Chains A and B, each alone.
Chain A
Amino acid sequence: MSEPLLRVENLSKRFGGIVAADGLRLAIASGELHAVIGPNGAGKTTLLAQLSGQLRPDSGRIYFDGRDITALPMHRRSALGVARSFQITSLFLDLSVLDNVALAVQARCGHSFRFWRNARAEPELREPACAALERVGLAARRNDLASALSHGEHRQLELAMALAGNPRMLLLDEPMAGLGPEESARMVEMLRALKAELTILLVEHDMEAVFALADRITVMVYGRVIASGNPADIRANQDVRDAYLGEQEVAHG
């Protein structure tokens, strides 16, 4: 088998007495949609923070495309093609939808000490931003203020910002959180379309979405991986049932 796009080895992270990652191993092949599930406090968000560079692990290594990125800061990782969306939506509410995405593009274009040219007229920034909005289905709202969008649209915008830099890998932190059934379904469709183009690591509580989308699933409990495999294996796994999945959810999936 070829080298996975993302490989995590022996990752450990503690906050005082709380173990957020305990010898974590993970391998995500290129083109795969890999879901990470687990009960609250399992360390999923901490894992994403370490992968994106927001947090430093206490020990262990992270490889992206064969390159050790453990010590790289966030912006260097995003330059390599790792993009992250946030669980709690964090946008520029008083800027337009397009400005939000254009800033994400601009972040990838080197320093911004350019004082004269109108940034809103630069095709270099606007075109990739429009393309990203097109992909998430927000193109029609590009000139509205971000604050005028619904919660579901905020999620789409968040995704567009992650896509703006043409990343190779997306780290998604609970993109379905707080969405109504209809919005959820739309998000699932969107992720299904995206998964054909890039590698996705999805942290999600919505089991229906996870089993509908994932190629592989990793189950975390208290900072450890208790199971990893394809959806059918995970559904059948007794440890997972005991630790996490309710009977009902499994039957439902």
Chain B
Amino acid sequence: MTPAWNVRTATVVLLLTALPLVPVYTRLAHDPFLLTLFTRIVIMALAAVSLNLILGYGGMMSFGHAAYLGIGGYAVGMLAHEGIYSGLVQWPLALAASALFALVIGALSLRTRGVYFIMITLAFAQMAYYVVAGIARYGGDDGLTIYKRSQFFSPLDLSNKIQFYYLCLVLLYGVTYLVWRLVNSRFGMVVRGARSNEIRMRALGFPTYRYKLVCFVIAGTLCGLAGALLANHNDFISPATMYWTRSGDLIVMVVLGGMASPLGPWFGALVLLVLEEALSSITEYWQIILGPLLLLIVLFARGGIDGLLRTIGGKRA
């Protein structure tokens, strides 16, 4: 890759350097709320990156991706409720539970196409929603307060907001890099090929179902990690985390940011959550403004924000 100095590169570099500086700013400006907002943005960007793997690169329109946020979150919450606080137990379990859920849903839903795939992933996620809403021991509908954040070895303290922010940020950078490697590997080329022309892939001799299923499970697992972070961030987890509108939010982030672009989900999460925050402080009917705004971006910037930046930059990278 030859980096051409254009608008897009500038934006990416700005974003990559600005994010680690957020705590410095909030410290100087005495604005702890901004840090909370950005922690949330980073966590949701992580979830969107995982969705981008299957939606953007794999063409799998999953409408149930928030389920993993809930599963990862509940793994942390339930274990904490039972007195198990070690992150070394909670987090691997959160990932394993998400992976297992993804394996079951994927194995069934990937046999279908198009609208049916959307409906089945949606149905499974809603099932998970109603199941946790029905477990009275863990708060049911009202959710579950987490009194102690996940505990790791001594210097790392998740209840320190700045440390927690940096942990989330490092994981976001790491997972984004991981996904980037993945989609450019042989495995990733098969997944992209299957999105582009699945029949031809099979004619070439690729058993596409297996590759898509593995991709689906990886995406679910990574989103489970975001769920574990989110529960710690909110000190709370409730069924609402996995409600279908939350899956919709994740899709909006991916589409808005730019599908099949490595950093697209970052842009998407950032813009959506900042807009949400800014508009809701102006009016309580902020969604009336946000809706048309999103519509405009999707209509006029195919390829989302990342596509827009490329067009402004005038150079196709």
The contact string, 1 if C-beta is below 8 Å from chain B, for chain A 93-133, is: 11100010011101110001111111110100100000000
Does A40 count as interface, using CB distance less than 8 angstroms?
no
Question: Is the beta-carbon distance between B197 and A115 smaller than 8 angstroms?
Answer: no
Question: Is the beta-carbon distance between A119 and B206 smaller than 8 angstroms?
Answer: no
Question: Is the beta-carbon distance between B204 and A104 smaller than 8 angstroms?
Answer: yes
Q: B284 CB to closest chain A CB, in angstroms?
A: 42
List, in ascending order, chain B residues with CB within 8 A of A113's CB: 186-187, 211, 214
List, in ascending order, chain B residues with CB within 8 A of A93's CB: 196-197
For residue A73, which residue of chain B has the nearest CB? B205
List, in ascending order, chain B residues with CB within 8 A of A74's CB: 203, 205
A-B residue pair count with CB separations less than 8 angstroms? 79
Does B199 count as interface, using CB distance less than 8 angstroms?
yes
Query: In the complex, what distance in Å separates the CA atom of A94 from the CA atom of B181?
Result: 20
Does B193 count as interface, using CB distance less than 8 angstroms?
yes
Main SS at interface, chain A: loop
The contact string, 1 if C-beta is below 8 Å from chain B, for chain A 158-169, is: 000100000000
List, in ascending order, chain B residues with CB within 8 A of A156's CB: none
Query: In the complex, what distance in Å separates the CA atom of A107 from the CA atom of B190?
Result: 9
Question: Is the beta-carbon distance between A54 and B203 smaller than 8 angstroms?
Answer: yes
Query: In the complex, what distance in Å separates the CA atom of A79 from the CA atom of B39?
Result: 51
Does B30 count as interface, using CB distance less than 8 angstroms?
no
The contact string, 1 if C-beta is below 8 Å from chain B, for chain A 52-94, is: 0010000000000000000000110011000010100011111
List, in ascending order, chain A residues with CB within 8 A of B206's CB: 75, 107, 112
Does B227 count as interface, using CB distance less than 8 angstroms?
no
Q: B2 CB to closest chain A CB, in angstroms?
A: 13
The contact string, 1 if C-beta is below 8 Å from chain A, for chain B 180-201, is: 0110111111101100110111
From A94, A108, A115, name the one whose CB has the most chain B CB atoms within 10 angstroms: A115
| 9 sampled A-B residue pairs with Cβ under 8 A | A103-B201, A106-B189, A107-B205, A112-B206, A115-B182, A115-B188, A117-B185, A119-B186, A161-B204
With contacts A92-B192, A114-B186, A125-B186 known, what are 7 further pairs, Cβ within 8 A?
Answer: A84-B203, A91-B197, A99-B189, A107-B206, A118-B184, A118-B185, A120-B184
